[in-house]
Amino acid sequence: MAVFCGAKGNKFLFTNEYKLVTSWWPKSMKKVFIFQNSDTNFKQVSALKRSFHHDILKPEALKQYLPVMDVLSREHLEREWTPNAVVKVFPLSKKYTFELACRIFLGVVDLEVIKRLVDPFTLANEGVFSVPIDLPGTAYNRAIKGGKVVRQELMKIIKDRRKELMEKNNTERTDLLSKMLIATNENGQFYSEMQISNNIIGLLVASFDTTSSAVTSVLNYIAELPDIYKEVLKEQLEIAKSKGPDELLTWEDIEKMKYSWNVARESLRLMPPAQGSFRETITEFTYAGFTIPKGWKTFWTVHSSHKNPEYFPEPEKFDPSRFEGSGPPPYTFVPFGGGPRMCPGKEYARLQVLVFMHNVVRRFKLEKVIPNEKVVFHGSAKPVHGLPVRLHPHRK
């Protein structure tokens, strides 16, 4: 394994995708989430996933999901936050992001069906980064069992949806699952239910832990820094004043959230949801005097540039102004990766974070219950106690 560091290392790997390196994940991770008897190899899954992801996650497509995000965030806050004096942000943000993913990607709104998916999915997600020893009682063993349950539930949803689409000839559904079921490959054949299941799992994995970690880190800093909260609230109230009380957010409103997005980006710099990504070398090459043989694995890491004082003076200081104007130098701020394999969910995550920020700050001022709560990195950044905050509702 060769670990590439800094902006130069990031640039080298990002710009040599498909030339010198290609996507790679450990077998232990694929065993949890990908069908073992699948008729599709991992590269085919990735190719299918990329084409659909870019189609459904580009800004034009996301505009139609903005009202869904706004409605769900309001419902979630009303149901899970408003009745309580203290809430734990991290587990609740996971609940919100998974429910939203089920609505947008699967077209599933039934909370019972979502619960049947989220419990085993959480087991799988928590154990996938553990030591891969498949013995009863280990986190990895629980992850494999959770993955099997998730696949069974997904296959049932896929079969039922295919039946519904065939019987009703309903091509108006906008969720990703329905689009996949009526799409064909380059040979004019429909994708198999197994292929579709693998790709949906890939999307759920990508949108679950990292997005909820991003939401949590943003709210962590908003709760910790009163001056930052004050400026975010000011911006969001300006947007709210221009709308009716029940009027939903629009794309134009999102574009006005410039300071809020700079706050979110600075949160992602200091507490990035993903720590980097693997690649596999497809041909031998030399970098910085080192020869990397074919078949070796590579890894790029966010912290080697995000916390580098050369790119970010006083790197531990929270300063959203870093992102004003042209922002940081290229390849230094990489929470979503870069190059051809830059995370296709970047815009989806941006919308999700901003919509949630808008609805939270308009309702509450947040106060951290544990001021210096420790954060651990287990796949994503996770507050040890779930980031409990005391809610101070605004007077109406």
3-state class (DSSP) for residue 320: helix
Q: What is the DSSP letter of 81?
A: I
CA 38, CA 19: separation in Å to the nearest integer? 27
Return the structure tokens found at 8: 């130069």
Residues 299, 276: contact at Cβ < 8 Å? yes
Binding residues: 343
The DSSP code sequence of 339-366 is: GGGS-TTHHHHHHHHHHHHHHHHHHEEE
CA 51, CA 46: separation in Å to the nearest integer? 9
Q: Which of 273, 138, 286 is nearest to 208 (CA)?
A: 273
Residues 277, 206: contact at Cβ < 8 Å? no
3-state class (DSSP) for residue 134: coil
Return the structure tokens found at 127: 């154990």
CA 44, CA 107: separation in Å to the nearest integer? 24
Fill in the amino acid letter for 73. Answer: S
Q: Which residues pair with 279 in a beta bridge?
A: 23, 298
Mapping DSSP onto H, E and C, the string for 156-221 reads: HHHHHHHHHHHHHCCCCCCCHHHHHHHCECCCCCECCHHHHHHHHHHHHHHHHHHHHHHHHHHHHH
Neighbours of 353 (CB within 10 A): 25
Binding residues for heme: 343
3-state class (DSSP) for residue 373: coil
Residues 372, 387: contact at Cβ < 8 Å? no
